[in-house]
Amino acid sequence: MSWVSFTALFFATWWVVLFAVLPFSVRTQDDDHDVTLGTVPSAPRGPHMLRAVIRTTIATAILMGIFYGLTHGLGYSLNDIPHIVPDFGQTPAK
């Protein structure tokens, strides 16, 4: 895999991980018992995007490190995925 493909995969994975990481450690206005007039109680209390971006980058780097280890270290590729799971649809030969 070229570095361009790896970079594209990194950023696609980064966006998916961002939406998975966003809800973690968010303090709502209701948690602080200080709801601003005109907002819902479940609205975030303050900005937390920098922490979410840092966590997303770290988690994506770990995932891409695992992917790199599997593809370059162990020699697996995306074409090997169908062969990892056994085919249960075939009957055994007699």
Q: Answer whether residue 79 is part of any domain.
A: no
Q: Answer whether residue 86 is part of any domain.
A: no
Task: Inform me whether the pLDDT recorded for 4 exceeds 90.
Answer: yes
Task: Record the pTM.
Answer: 0.72
Angle formed by the axes of helices 3-21 and 49-68, nearest 10° = 130
Give percent above pLDDT 70 in the chain. Answer: 90
Question: Total domain count for the chain?
Answer: 1
Task: Inform me whether the pLDDT recorded for 83 exceeds 80.
Answer: no
Q: Answer whether residue 50 is part of any domain.
A: yes
Q: Answer whether residue 35 is part of any domain.
A: yes
pLDDT for 94 equals 63
Q: Answer whether residue 49 is part of any domain.
A: yes
Angstrom distance (rounded) from CA 45 to CA 51: 14
Q: Answer whether residue 94 is part of any domain.
A: no
Mean pLDDT of 28-54: 87
Q: Answer whether residue 19 is part of any domain.
A: yes
Mean pLDDT of 36-51: 86
Range of the structural domain that residue 61 is part of: 1-72
pLDDT for 31 equals 85
| Pick from 63, 50, 60: nearest CA to 11 | 60
